[in-house]
Amino acid sequence: MVENPTDPIHEQDPSRLLENHFRLAALQREPANPRLDVEAIGFSRHRGDWLGVMVTPDFVRLLLLPGGGSLWGDIPAGQRRYLELAGGTQTFFAEDSALIGPYQWAALVDSVTLLPDMTSARLLALDGLRLATGRLPEQLSVPPAEAAPEVTRRGFFRRLAGKRT
């Protein structure tokens, strides 16, 4: 949680804070996909900062929050920056919230209306995390008996389109 507005570093996992923030935001408008719920997925430290996926009825986004590491780069809200991640260069957009402080996001899907259910949104989130970081956070590791094949950029988009890889 952000302790001081002048010090936007999140010391602990921001998942619960993010879920509360985006749940309140979702209540204020008609959802793009009412089959989806609000869920923070896989938030963990990546190069010292917090990276994970936020699923809401309106979007599925990779979120980056400052944690005191080397991945975060402070830019004004409304601006964009390009980050080199394991799966390639990703465009992140900056936002600022009174509740959660500054954060940056990258869309994992153009329209959540394409997702049939929350399970599909979670699978998309896991694929997005694996593509961005080259791994899954330990708490999300897939058991060896069910290990999924390594995700490629092409496989990610094929799964999104509902095709087998």
Q: What local confidence, expressed as pLDDT, does residue 132 receive?
A: 93
Contacts of 55 (CB under 8 A, 6+ apart): 36, 37, 38, 39, 40, 41, 118, 121, 122, 125
Q: pLDDT tens digits, residue range 3-46? A: 444 457 999 999 999 999 999 999 999 999 999 999 999 999 99
pTM of the model: 0.80
In this prediction, residue 136 carries a pLDDT of 79
Distance (Å, rounded) from C-alpha 128 to C-alpha 39?
15
CB atoms within 10 A of CB 143: 6
Question: Taking the CB of residue 88, how many other CB atoms lie within 10 A of it?
Answer: 10
Q: What is the pLDDT of residue 135?
A: 86
Per-residue DSSP letters for 16-40? HHHHHHHHHHHHTS--S-TT---EE
- pLDDT tens profile 53-80: 999 999 999 999 999 999 999 999 999 9
What per-residue confidence (pLDDT) applies to 93? 98
pLDDT band at 153 (very low <50, low <70, confident <90, very high): low
Confidence at 143, pLDDT banded by 50, 70, 90: very low
Domain ranges in the chain?
2-160
pLDDT 10s digits, 90-132: 999 999 999 999 999 999 999 999 999 999 999 999 999 999 9
Taking every pair of C-alpha atoms in the chain, what is the biggest distance, in angstroms?
47
Tokens standing for residue 53: 């996926």
Residue type, 19: E
Per CATH, is 2-160 categorized as 3.30.1460.40?
yes
